[in-house]
Amino acid sequence: MTKTVHTTTYELLRERGMTTIFGNPGSNELPFLKNFPTDFRYVLGLHEGVVLGMADGYAQATGRPAFVNLHAAAGTGNAMGALTNSMSSHSPLVITAGQQVRSMIGLEPMLTNVDAVSLPRPLVKWSYEPASAQDVPRAISQAIHMAALPPQGPVYVSVPYDDWDAPSAPQSELLYSRVVSGATVPSTQVLDDLADRLAQARNPVLVLGSDVDATRAQPAAVKLAEKQRLPVWIAPSSARCPFPTTHPFLRGILPAGIASISRLLDGHDLILVVGAPVFRYHQFEPGVLLPEGAEVVHITCDPQEAARAPMGHAIVADIRLTLELIAQSASASERPKPNGRSAPPKAPPSGHAQRLAPEVVFDVLAELAPRDAIYINESTSTTNILWDRLPMEEPGSYYFPAAGGLGFGIPVAIGVQLACQDRRVIAVIGDGSANFSITALWTAAQHRVPAIFVILKNGTYGALRWFADTLQVEDVPGLDVPGIDFCSLARGYGVRAVTADTEQGFREVLTAALDQEEPILIEVATC
């Protein structure tokens, strides 16, 4: 019997280990989802931003492509805010969307994805609508390889819904076991040249970014830093934790302004940036791009990152393999051991009653959470406090929205927790950010995903107040978010919820939460 496009596609996904589908269905997707195989799992998100966020967390935590199924143009549109982060974090996502039947697309009936291929651009690496039904399994196979090839990233395939019952192309099973490898290392000459520069540098420094964590290259980074006695900075706006935060050589996270970065890197003659853009700036701070006498060498998996940097030399290569080679061949340096950072200032006493200083929240987390806890950060005004205070030593311990798009925290925590069942996931989320994807709580409840959601409730868009100050703009409307009861919202979606407004209270609810195997939301009043 001839196989259908439907059967072949599910076999392909099964062979690829992609048996979890993150989605939100519509009429165009029902023919794909029919007779859903029992060895597959469908994770329903109630809004496509949530669907994409959950898949993003799952993809980042597993390092492998995650499968997403969205509803036509409307569902894709809802997912695109989250897609800004996925593109920047190099998250491997195979995003599919149902299209109207082929014979009607031109008539633009309801829920047509008009110009489907253009819609998700520029937030995907590759976008496609197969020219025939028979090409669908091959196109999905191409999408999986495109997502996984360096630099990893999201891809998009639009599939007309009458394609699924069509017979598949002969020998489609040849797709199942294809191996497409893309990891490359620099030539020996490039590596030797870099080793020489490092050995000869008077005062080199290492700046590490998210892709060091994404490729599990921390051990190589630690080995290189220790052998060459390099002080280490975490790259500005880093979306993952590339180096143990308790390591004595760590200086901290670089700020995201041109002038501040140059000030902090002043005095270094060689700045080796690995696994990050040069640089991911945020606030506009005019100044010199590079301190006097400094040279940048940039190792990245992303040709666009390499090409668009305004300074330095770049090497496009696999981050882990390259770092391992450099660490292996590096000589043991006689330079003095670098100074790390000093202990963070003591947490300020909680001023007025019933509100905690954010420092206290992070100190309590640092003390009570398991050492290998995974943190999701979407509390925008407390990011530096987090980096100062949380011990993060294991790979895959930290996730932050790489392009700054909010709505990340709750769904990404769920996706990461689904991927890492033996570690505790703790999401620290601002009371502004939480609303962009609050419906994700429902999925956490339905799948009993035991993530802990800590909502820092200061009643305002704190980061924007800081920005308003920096930009010297006054009387801006729309910066406060009073009157939201997160415990009621959580309970409405089926998630247990408690409040904490004293340090002791927070200790107690966190201890209890860490004992539970179900999701919980903790609303903490902060100043």
Tell me which long-range contacts 366-372 makes (C-beta under 8 A, separation of at least 24).
366/390, 366/391, 368/507, 368/510, 368/511, 368/514, 369/424, 369/426, 369/510, 369/514, 370/423, 370/424, 370/514, 372/397, 372/423, 372/424
Of the pair 460, 502, the CB lying nearest ligand TZD is at: 460
- The identity of residue 397, as a single letter, is S
The item of ligand TZD, Ca ion, none sharing an interface with residue 433, based on CB under 5 to 8 Å by kind, is ligand TZD
Are the beta carbons of 73 and 46 closer than 8 angstroms? no
Q: How far is the CB of 463 from ligand TZD (least distance, A)?
A: 3
The item of Ca ion, ligand TZD, none sharing an interface with residue 463, based on CB under 5 to 8 Å by kind, is ligand TZD
Q: How far is the CB of 526 from Ca ion (least distance, A)?
A: 8
The item of Ca ion, ligand TZD, none sharing an interface with residue 523, based on CB under 5 to 8 Å by kind, is none
Of the pair 92, 430, the CB lying nearest Ca ion is at: 430
**Residue entry with tokens 């340096």:** 333
What residue number has its CB nearest to Ca ion?
A: 430
List contacts with Ca ion (CB under 5 A).
430-432, 458, 462
Distance CA 58, CA 383 (A): 23
Q: How far is the CB of 481 from ligand TZD (least distance, A)?
A: 7
Of the pair 78, 142, the CB lying nearest ligand TZD is at: 78
Spatial CA neighbour of 59 closest among 20, 23, 12, 91: 91
**Helix H or strand E segment including 270:** strand 270-274
Residues known to be catalytic? 26-27, 29, 48, 71, 282, 404
What strands, in cross-sheet order, belong to the sheet with 452-457?
398-399, 374-378, 425-430, 452-457, 520-525, 496-500
Tokens standing for residue 244: 């143990």
The item of Ca ion, ligand TZD, none sharing an interface with residue 254, based on CB under 5 to 8 Å by kind, is none
The item of ligand TZD, Ca ion, none sharing an interface with residue 69, based on CB under 5 to 8 Å by kind, is none
Which residues of 425-509 form beta strands (DSSP E)? 425-430, 452-457, 496-500
Of the pair 44, 481, the CB lying nearest ligand TZD is at: 481
| Omega of the bond leading into 151 within 30 degrees of 0 (cis) | yes
Of the pair 91, 458, the CB lying nearest ligand TZD is at: 458
Q: How far is the CB of 425 from Ca ion (least distance, A)?
A: 21
Q: How far is the CB of 406 from ligand TZD (least distance, A)?
A: 4
List contacts with ligand TZD (CB under 6 A).
81, 379-382, 404-407, 430-433, 436, 458, 460-464
What is the phi-psi region of residue 401: left when phi exceeds 0, alpha when psi lies from -120 to 50, beta otherwise?
beta
**Helix H or strand E segment including 523:** strand 520-525
| Omega of the bond leading into 122 within 30 degrees of 0 (cis) | yes
The item of Ca ion, ligand TZD, none sharing an interface with residue 81, based on CB under 5 to 8 Å by kind, is ligand TZD
The item of ligand TZD, Ca ion, none sharing an interface with residue 29, based on CB under 5 to 8 Å by kind, is none
Spatial CA neighbour of 299 closest among 395, 142, 184, 391: 184
What residue number has its CB nearest to ligand TZD?
A: 430
Of the pair 405, 462, the CB lying nearest Ca ion is at: 462
Three-state DSSP at 495 gives: coil
Question: What phi, psi does 167 have (nearest 5°)?
Answer: -65, 140
Written as one string, the DSSP assignment of 76-105 is: HHHHHHHHHHHHHTT--EEEEEEE--GGGG
What strands, in cross-sheet order, belong to the sheet with 313-316?
250-253, 232-234, 204-208, 270-274, 295-300, 313-316
Count Cβ atoms within 10 A of the Cβ of residue 44 and give its class: 0-12 exposed, 13-18 middle, 19 or more buried.
middle
Of the pair 261, 438, the CB lying nearest ligand TZD is at: 438
Q: How far is the CB of 431 from ligand TZD (least distance, A)?
A: 5
Cα–Cα separations (whole angstroms), residue 297 to 181, 262, 273: 26, 15, 6
Tokens standing for residue 433: 């950010």
Of the pair 89, 381, the CB lying nearest ligand TZD is at: 381
Of the pair 418, 427, the CB lying nearest ligand TZD is at: 427
Residue 291's CB: how many other CB atoms inside 10 A? 17
Cα–Cα separations (whole angstroms), residue 206 to 29, 259, 260, 288, 479: 47, 18, 17, 19, 37
Q: How far is the CB of 379 from Ca ion (least distance, A)?
A: 7
Are the beta carbons of 276 and 207 closer than 8 angstroms? yes
The item of Ca ion, ligand TZD, none sharing an interface with residue 210, based on CB under 5 to 8 Å by kind, is none
Tokens standing for residue 281: 């700036």
Q: How far is the CB of 81 from Ca ion (least distance, A)?
A: 19
Q: How far is the CB of 440 from ligand TZD (least distance, A)?
A: 14
The item of ligand TZD, Ca ion, none sharing an interface with residue 407, based on CB under 5 to 8 Å by kind, is ligand TZD
Of the pair 53, 430, the CB lying nearest Ca ion is at: 430
CA atoms within 13 A on the CB side of 496: 14
The item of Ca ion, ligand TZD, none sharing an interface with residue 464, based on CB under 5 to 8 Å by kind, is ligand TZD
Q: How far is the CB of 462 from Ca ion (least distance, A)?
A: 5
